[in-house]
Structure 1
């Protein structure tokens, strides 16, 4: 029997990697975590820390007693027209409750004040952790403290060790480290321009306008390592792009709901309060795949940020600064604004007139935006911000896995000894992001599955080595 340095090696220490390490040690495995950055946490620590789950104790505390994993699954698949890997989504939904309760048990804080409808189905399944993503990471790190886990930082894995047809460890800094199983949890590839252009072309459409909000060390290492052993990559061009007016490289998930948004044809095309999780997909269907947010002087003067729709770039003072900076267009009249933007002036006038009528009667008869979000566009000067899906939130193309988080090879068979979880995997995300918290949920749920499975490889390799 060959000697190993660790039972399990986990590459990456975001929510997926930390969850994998936690379940591996819970199953009596010795673990090495390898992280490319100078600290643990990955993109998870930078996130809003929302966990998407159904039938949870927090929902019951908030008086929601009838939500189910099946209802979550039906919503998730319907939103994406059943174009996802159903078995993975079913696993994600069915194990969301147990994974969420586990996070609470190990000390991650959740309160009913931070339970909200993060999807477009209006069911409150978005569980925001106290302390956001950093709070989830801190809880996982606290659980691992004092356990049989070693951590190496500022180290990038160069290749996988393969012996007798199975993954048997890694090579890092030119040195082999042996194990019974490896878990790939390296995050996405948002910080790799070449990989973005090849695997997620929508995220390279606007060149330098695009920017990535995840960890700068997320360069697609997991995909590269999986491909060394013929691991498959799921459907291309998947991920989440957030819309941006290009004011500054600040993350603002929401636009103010009172804006009147029009496409290049000068027409409204959506309820402007729609969730960010689907707005980028709606923009994909518009001419030029962009739009303009239009408002008047009265709306500018009344604009402020709120707790529920935080949009600090859209306060009255900041908007005036954006005009001076040239990132917000101003016109004395609506016709002048249309001419500057290259929009059909007469049609834009018709759109504004109809929108103003809706404001007067208190009903949006075209897109049914909530009445309190209707503001007239009547008082010059007029303003327009160019809105494009340019912020790369996360990448959804990744390694193909099965429901046991095992990496699948070119023949659709599991690669012995190799698991993957989190943003480095694919198959669970389509053109529409199901809801805020689906990515963190994916990381924790499949991280747990991968860690548990990887720990069991010790028994399998011991048996295979017996005479």
Structure 2
């Protein structure tokens, strides 16, 4: 079985889909795993009060404490000085790629990470034009199709130059990234690895279904995502080892504290080790900040994206004190050095995924009042946006016994299920059925989700209503109206396409509760140009300062689109590599 997990054995689908609320509660021992309370909002993740500016009058004049630079480091307390060309702060995906690229350029480079190891989570990568795509014959859209769609769904706010660079380079960057370790490439999403405990690459939704044409979808999902399994660690550690072999140094349990400037130029960083010793790193060519996002810093999250405080936050990489490492360290250091945050609104990554057997397939969806509330034929992120606005932030997916024959016309998207495997073929397709995003369903797995309470059966619509405690009369009326629309072949209520408008009239019936999705990251970062150089308030580069990964801006705004599933990882890889290259060149 190859279900992706996010630390502590928690599956990504369970966290993001129907079980998110319960999953967050179960991980209550992890800092930052619950929605912010009023008391927490009054205090930052570092323990400081959310104060420091005006507390009355115009709220836009309020200055939170994290914007106030700390006192300069006392040089007499520096216990070690390190001289390098480039310093990379934060060794997640972007940082490790920056470290290796700088080392490959022949410069002296050091990477600092406040956690005990490189930070990584799931291993989905949405890329274009890699050797994998060529080898498997995966047809992909033209660059302008992808860029224009991404810009459309994000309100034309991202930096299109960054998107164009990413699409042109993500394929070769993926080949470079995974080429550091031996791995097996599966030839389709129905293949089984020779040894599931050893590194392999799983091409998701490959081949593309004959009846799925992304160009005709209102919410297209472009093909080409690959999943690094059994987890992402083999590629991360392989890249780190390649960087070290090229001469890079990496130190863990070392936290970046403040940037060092000489005039307008960033020339290094002060850091602290696990014993509290102060280290000065002089970096004559540049510093790359790749410390992750801000979602575990309550003060920053509340200030920049108050709507996101409604979500439970889960982040599996911890520092030596057991706190999530994504506290916005790099954002704050950059701001104190003269860079600025990009304009919002920032994008919470909060997509729903549903059950493994049905996923987010666009069946009837109702709220706690038994009322339909949206066109269900949307992407995973868009679905969660609609669910979050309902009473209690929950909803219910309803379908009937004909679900097996309906899967083939469902969208082959991230979180969608499009293949039914009959009992006699279950053994052959076991790997695909058990993989959380492959899109394969079976009677055995469907029954296991009934046994687990994820899917609830009923002989009547009233039975379903009683099972989840929603008004039976309202639900019956909603189903009757939905059936009327389905038979008419036109959704005049919410405009769902008729090809996915199925009547619910063949018992047994089924209902799936969708819980409140958790937030993986809050995407919003330091304003930067197409070279990953941090920008000041006048849009001029801050000399010597580069940003990558979730510390950089310009990639995603408003929403995280799953048009290209795995785009966040892919961009972290590509822009981490670019930032490392440009820092090494002293740009």
For Structure 1 versus Structure 2, the TM-score category normalised by the shorter chain is: 0.7 to 0.9
Secondary structure of the structure 1 residue equivalent to 2:585:
helix
1:233 equivalenced with 2:338 (yes/no)? no
2:548 is equivalent to residue 421 of structure 1: yes
The residue number in structure 2 matching 1:39 is: 117
* Among 302, 306, 313, the residue aligned to 1:211: 313
| Cα distance, 1:398 vs structure 2 | 1.0
Report matched runs for 1:378-397 at 5 Å.
379=507, 383=511, 385-388=513-516, 390-397=517-524
- The Cα shift of 1:416 comes to 0.9
Aligned partner of 2:569 among 425, 428, 440 = 440
Q: 1:108/1:447 Cα in 2 relative to 1: closer, same or farther (>3 Å)?
A: farther
CA–CA distance in structure 1, aligned partners of residues 329 and 461 of structure 2: 50
Greater shift in the superposed pair: 259-268 or 210-219: 259-268
The structure 2 residue matched to 1:91, chosen from 152, 160, 165, is 165
- Structure 1 residues 236-247: aligned runs within 5 Å: 236-243=345-352
Number of aligned positions between the proteins:
435
**Aligned-pair CA distance for 1:379:** 4.8
Of 348, 358, 365, the match for 1:261: 365
Q: Deviation digits for residues 229-252 of structure 1, max 9, x if unmatched?
A: 12111214313113388xxxxx98
Q: 1:157 to 1:87 in 2, by over 3 A?
A: same
Taking the aligned partners of 1:78 and 1:72, their CA distance within structure 2 comes to 10
Number of the residue aligned with 2:101: 23
* Aligned counterparts of 2:357 and 2:348: Cα–Cα separation in 1: 15
Offset from partner CA, 1:143-193 (integer Å, 9 cap, x none): 224221111111111111111221111111223221121100111123223
If the length of structure 1 is used for normalisation, what is the TM-score? 0.79
Cα RMSD between the aligned structures? 4.0
**In the alignment, does 2:293 pair up with 1:197?**
no
Distance 1:332 1:392, change over 3 A: same
Partners of 1:140 and 1:370 lie apart in 2 by 46
Provide the C-alpha distance between the structure 2 equivalents of 1:402 and 1:72, rounded to a whole number of angstroms.
Answer: 20
CA deviations on 1:300-337 (whole Å, 9 max, x unpaired) are 9xx9965424899x9545555559xxxx9999964586
Return the offset for 1:413.
0.9
In structure 2, what is the Cα distance between the partners aligned to 1:391 and 1:122?
Answer: 22
Is the counterpart of residue 164 in structure 1 residue 263 in structure 2?
Answer: yes
Of residues 223, 230, 233, the one that matches 1:134 is 233
2:4 match: none
My pick for the range that moved more, 429-438 or 394-403, is 429-438
Mapped contact 1:15–1:447 kept (Cα < 8 A): yes
Contact 1:243–1:253 (CA under 8 A) maintained in structure 2 = no
Which residue pairs with 1:121 in the alignment? 220
* Structure 1 unaligned residues grouped into runs of 5+: 246-250, 461-467
Change (3 A) 1:369 1:160: farther
Bigger proportion of residues as helix: 1
SS where residue 137 of structure 2 aligns?
coil
Larger mean CA deviation between 74-83 and 362-371 belongs to 362-371
Instruction: State TM-score, norm by structure 2.
Output: 0.64
Q: Which digits, 9 at most, give the CA deviation of each residue in 1:401-431, with x for residues without a partner? A: 1111101112211111110100111221132
Contact 1:335 1:345 in 2 (8 A): yes
Q: How far, CA to CA, are the matches of 1:271 and 1:225 in structure 2?
A: 42
2:528 is the alignment partner of 1:401: yes
Question: Residue 314 of structure 2 contacts residue 519 of structure 2 at CA under 8 Å; is this kept in 1?
Answer: yes
How far apart, CA to CA, are the structure 1 residues paired with 2:162 and 2:390?
34
Q: Compute the displacement of 1:108 (Å).
A: 6.9
Number of the residue aligned with 1:463:
none
Q: Tell me if 1:280 matches 2:408.
A: no
Post-superposition shift, 1:7? 0.7
Asked whether the 8 Å contact 2:357–2:446 carries over to 1, the reply is no
Q: Counterparts of 1:416 and 1:29 in 2: how far apart (Å)?
A: 18
Contact 1:253 1:276 in 2 (8 A): no
Distance 1:420 1:202 in 2: 25
Change (3 A) 1:176 1:19: same
1:96-122 deviations in whole A, cap 9, x for unaligned? 233233235444745442334599534
Paired residue for 1:9? 87
Distance 1:29 1:253 in 2: 50
Q: Which residue of 2 aligns with 1:248?
A: none
Check 1:385–1:311 CA distance in 2 against 1; reply closer, same or farther (3 A cut): farther
Alignment partner for residue 292 of structure 2, among 180, 187, 191? 187
